[in-house]
């Protein structure tokens, strides 16, 4: 079976941007907002539609409270004897911004292969009609092909069903189409997975591939479109288009990045925190992102105190993970996972590894220094900002955190105050604005751990960790221990191997052709998926 890439050739963030899906014809239990979700899973429910409920045990009872279940959109009227609806069923989808897509995909009732057999789609830019096209679907999942640029409204009119006495059931609507690229079309498929065992930074996993498509189809490969990569039906990862070049009519070079790459492009405004749980802080950081995430139960209630500056969401998550001892990774998963490093060890035999590997010993670490922070309100009013701003709403950021309570603004109206910024509204152009308030002061403390096994003559080599402002007195000692254990193990192993299910972040025991046996955590994994899962892997020796 080999490698397969599922390309969601859809308008990026179209569902997230969807203002409304409106239809007058709908069952009372229907929540139209469910059509904003990806891959809504509707149950196989028994109904009294004619010749619908097969008594083979595959159907489940219709739920007592369908309004609490994933149901999608069900029409109130049924199709007639000839499959037609007595009156047309109309769905209007309105977006906040403009989008571009290659058409629209509709998912009807896949259990019974019931689908709308005749429909019309109209695409609009505001009130201007761009395209109107009739379609005759022949399957429960149907793609209405039409390249449309810069639309922000779609009206779909449903005329008839392929079966009599059926409700119209729609579980998913995608602005685009899902395409599958298989090994015969893929000239190169390379995946890079990286993990830091102590999360001093969050690495961005990447995908690059060369496509020589046999299909007479043009692909858009728009930024942030998702790509699902599988090998022998095993999920390798979800990636998002970052760049695409077209060398010929059917030849493309595509590079993509994972969820962490997306988070590196989004700003987080930070704040001051006192005993906030990891779960609450991560939810605050991830707010507004269309990314599913899972946190280990033993990390959810871990409490943090300190400060986060204005930074990217990737940087903010790295600070959280470093402070609580978690790893952030999304390899081999459709979700972003924050978890404790597992201690189960998998193995590769000598027959799984290639000649040419190497073992590298780094410099000996003599000591680790870790800085902890404590923040307190100065209670002395100070000038936080003075300058001119444009008319309208303006975000003003601060170099140092300030207390939102008691913040005062002259020359404009204060709309919102936070620790690292405030929002003001000025009436006049180039208004002179002065903001005063109470800055937070910071105390720092250095925590140290020396390497007791230093021989005479070894040069001093100190690791300084000073940038994590979520390190406080409460967690400094355990963070110091983790950092020390990470750096005191100064050996790395690099080898080429055939992987089975091993992935970055896991402990691995390898037998090298001539260098011996080593156990360490996989910190880097470069895979070529054209034929087998052959990878260049890098291990950090030691259980960190």
Instruction: Judge whether 385 and 396 are in contact, CB under 8 Å.
Output: yes
Residue 343 has pLDDT above 90, yes or no: no
Adjacency order of strands within the sheet including 431-450: 408-410, 431-450, 367-389, 462-465
Average pLDDT value over all residues in the chain = 93
pLDDT band at 309 (very low <50, low <70, confident <90, very high): very high
pLDDT band at 513 (very low <50, low <70, confident <90, very high): confident
536 CB neighbour count, 10 Å cutoff: 16
Angle at 410 between CA 407 and CA 412, to 5 degrees: 100
Q: Considering only CA atoms, which of 268, 266, 282, 269 is closest in space to residue 420?
A: 269
What pLDDT is recorded for position 532?
79
Q: How far is Cα 463 from Cα 473, in angstroms, rounded to an integer? A: 19
User: 516-528 and 186-194: which strand pairing?
Assistant: antiparallel
How confident is the model over 258-275, as a mean pLDDT? Answer: 97
User: 516-528 and 534-541: which strand pairing?
Assistant: antiparallel
**Token digits for 80?**
């007639």
* pLDDT tens, position by position, 151-176: 999 999 999 999 999 999 999 999 99
Residue 544 has pLDDT above 60, yes or no: no
Tell if the pTM clears 0.95, that is, is over it. no
Residue 535 has pLDDT above 60, yes or no: yes
* pLDDT tens, position by position, 102-155: 999 999 999 999 999 999 999 999 999 999 999 999 999 999 999 999 999 999
* pLDDT tens, position by position, 421-451: 999 999 988 999 999 999 999 999 999 999 9
* pLDDT tens, position by position, 74-113: 999 999 999 999 999 999 999 999 999 999 999 999 999 9
How confident is the model over 195-202, as a mean pLDDT? Answer: 95
Residue 218 has pLDDT above 90, yes or no: no
334-337, Cβ contacts within 8 angstroms, sequence gap of 24 or more: 334/228, 334/235, 334/238, 334/292, 335/292, 335/293, 335/294, 336/259, 336/260, 336/291, 336/292, 336/293, 336/294, 337/293, 337/294, 337/295
pLDDT band at 543 (very low <50, low <70, confident <90, very high): low
């Amino acid at each position: 079976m080999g490698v397969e890439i599922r390309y969601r050739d859809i308008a990026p963030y179209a569902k997230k941007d969807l203002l409304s899906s409106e239809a007058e014809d709908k069952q009372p239990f229907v929540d139209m907002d469910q059509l904003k979700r990806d891959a809504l899973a509707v149950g196989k429910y028994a109904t009294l539609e004619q010749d619908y409920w097969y008594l083979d045990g595959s159907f489940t009872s219709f739920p007592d409270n369908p309004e609490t279940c994933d149901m999608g959109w069900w029409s109130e009227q049924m199709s007639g004897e000839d499959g037609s609806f007595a009156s047309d069923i109309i769905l209007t989808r309105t977006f906040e911004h403009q989008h571009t897509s290659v058409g629209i995909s509709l998912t009807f009732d896949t259990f019974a292969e019931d689908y709308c057999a005749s429909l019309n789609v109209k695409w609009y830019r505001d009130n201007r009609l761009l395209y109107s096209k009739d379609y005759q679907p022949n399957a429960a999942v149907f793609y209405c092909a039409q390249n449309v640029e810069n639309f922000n409204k779609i009206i779909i009119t449903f005329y008839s069903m392929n079966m009599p006495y059926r409700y119209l059931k729609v579980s998913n609507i995608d602005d685009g189409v899902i395409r599958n690229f298989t090994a015969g079309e893929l000239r190169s498929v390379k995946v890079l997975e990286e993990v830091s065992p102590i999360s001093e930074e969050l690495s961005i996993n990447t995908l690059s591939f060369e496509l020589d498509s046999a299909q007479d189809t043009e692909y858009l490969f728009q930024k942030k479109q998702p790509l699902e990569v599988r090998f022998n039906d095993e999920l390798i990862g979800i990636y998002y288009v970052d760049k695409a070049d077209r060398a010929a009519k059917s030849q493309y070079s595509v590079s993509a990045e994972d969820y962490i790459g997306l988070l590196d492009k989004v700003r987080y405004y930070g704040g001051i925190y006192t005993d906030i749980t990891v779960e609450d802080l991560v939810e605050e950081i991830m707010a507004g992102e269309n990314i599913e995430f899972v946190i280990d139960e033993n990390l959810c209630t871990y409490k943090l105190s300190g400060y986060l500056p204005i930074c990217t969401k990737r940087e903010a998550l790295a600070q959280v993970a470093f402070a609580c001892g978690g790893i952030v990774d999304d390899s081999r998963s459709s979700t972003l996972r924050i978890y404790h490093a597992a201690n189960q060890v998998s193995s590769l035999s000598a027959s799984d590894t290639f000649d040419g590997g190497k073992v590298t010993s780094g410099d000996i670490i003599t000591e680790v220094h870790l800085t902890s922070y404590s923040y307190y309100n100065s209670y002395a009013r100070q000038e936080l900002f003075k300058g001119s701003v444009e008319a309208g709403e303006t975000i003003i950021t601060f170099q140092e955190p300030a207390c939102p309570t008691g913040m005062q603004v002259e020359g404009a109206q204060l709309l919102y105050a936070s620790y690292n910024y405030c929002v003001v509204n000025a009436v006049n152009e180039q208004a002179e604005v002065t903001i005063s308030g109470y800055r937070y002061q910071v105390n720092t403390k250095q925590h140290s751990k020396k390497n007791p096994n230093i021989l005479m003559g070894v040069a001093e080599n100190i690791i300084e960790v000073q940038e994590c402002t979520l390190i406080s007195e409460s967690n400094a000692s355990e963070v110091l221990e983790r950092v020390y254990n990470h750096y005191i193990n100064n050996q790395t192993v690099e080898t080429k191997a055939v992987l089975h299910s091993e992935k970055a972040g896991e402990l691995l025991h390898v037998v090298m052709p001539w260098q011996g046996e080593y156990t360490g955590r996989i910190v880097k994994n470069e895979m070529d998926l054209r034929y087998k899962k052959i990878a260049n892997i890098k291990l950090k020796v030691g259980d960190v």
